[in-house]
Structure 1
């Protein structure tokens, strides 16, 4: 009983201090606990790649597991790596110097000791630089006309820059975007700034930088697809004037009408508008935006998450959120395009944060607005407090009962002796 009360007291203390929860992990057939998959990584052949495992490391941190380097292994097809060669494991990262198309596949990270085993995975897709569709390995961003937008080169924090400026390119242009070009673009510490977004800014942006690893230079690039909503303020729709030579003859109208195929606009299946996602302080959240489209337009449909109207990279969640893992699956009604957003750690700063999922294709645009919220620990306090108090009272009652238990009188043992004067 006393140990139960102590365990409940620990639970109460963790709830009060806002420590992260420890949700149970599923177990594989080999006895290892399985952490959810990392976001898929895409890159170009010939570039440097550093694979890290933030979701996996967060799961170990929450469970107070800090694996030493010699017990942390990264494998592919059961092949392990050391600190030499083209593919090297350094601490809890895997370096590919440089990457090849054959590196595509699933990499597994494992921590194992005598009593515990945890495993996770990440999928890497390396494209041949000569025949790659930029949209396949890009980060989606959505903006509104007139909005001030800041581009950050995403997922480069693991690299040590050489100090050279990051070069930005748009679409397939071989010429980098210059500072103040036509007043549209600005530079700030490697970021690309758009003071006022216009329709012409939509497209694919590529950032490139040079990194120094083991005294050798490598190229690293990232792609961002920007979709723009709204009309430029100086553009007004021009009304269509019917041709008198056509409208004067009804028969001619019916015979010359051209039926152009229409694209069905995207429909966001989940989450629903107004959904509130709750999580405890210090815990993580995994969100999915699932969009229904025609299968023919699934690849061209842009799906993105916005945080308080900004891209994830430009918001306060930049260091604590991961966006990606786009997946298209065929269903009976068409195709589902799914984009994942992972908030690694919830903090007080996230209270009432607005999350917006935006889906756009040639048929139209749909937006769904949701909200982040920290779970109210009042109910947890109440339930745990009642249980702890009940157990405490039970222990006290048993103790008092044992202490003041009335003593029973000893019974006299009688036996009959033979009435005999001699022995």
Structure 2
């Protein structure tokens, strides 16, 4: 009897406490369940923008309303209801995201994502604000990060997960835009993939940081950037004034006490070396074809992250040159070799044109140990020579076929002639 009572009590406890409490019901409007609005998005005109609905997707998953592969419809709330964006054009819907390639100020507004089937209708919303480049409100566009003086290894992360790839090359600028070319190159910073790390925070590190990435989408290059504001609290410690030893207090003026003078052996950082391409190399490619160049740099592994490698076009950055729309710099890769660490940086051409003839390309590398650069040239491959080779091969193949045909055609005739001679000989005998 006691055992039955205990078992019954256990069943009741499991029934009451073993289940999760029911989820609160969603509000409804016009026959659709409403999900809480997403966090507003603030972006700059002229850049690629991806509009996503993470909270909306999460609600559907938790409530088992729709599978992950369900189809969604994203519309703009201010006057363009019912417009379904295709997977082409400047504004494209890709699964549960809306892509702007690039975004315009007129794209600002409220967007609604709707999932509807025979049983449910669920909607979520997000507000997008696209600012013109000349009227950017930095407070709304920036990501604030606090730090204290003396704090070690403070990372600044570039929040561009939607566009970032393992081989993406992200450039960092401080207190300026990329047009001022005030690029962060080592110094008191370290690079760790997509992060900018401050080894020891000082008051001078406070300010506005901009991370920038160039992405290639459908053979078209787009800019993506984010702004981070670093707030630093505290006061830098005072630097002690170095003291000069008093030689008159020593018994031997030529000797200095070891307690007042020490020698610090600091490692010497070697200058990075460009292994390939060689200086003066000429790269040839046919008109309209693509081309990929790789700059390989050898350096010490301890400074590999802070070693900058960059391609220049006619002494300008790729983004500032006439190749901005047809070339993409990226694919930085660091590998360890027997001599140290090897850095590879690619320059990818979508297509070559007559305009690229005799274009000067430079690979430049620099770190605390020094700087090196090499110069290469672009050249269109002579298509006449190519057609001559193709024609020669075609003629050779044609002559070979004709020779085989003639050989096969003539061989039976010789045999008939021989049979005729033998027949005459036999008849004579």
TM-score (norm 2): 0.48
Pair member with larger Rg: 2
TM score, norm. by length of structure 1: 0.49
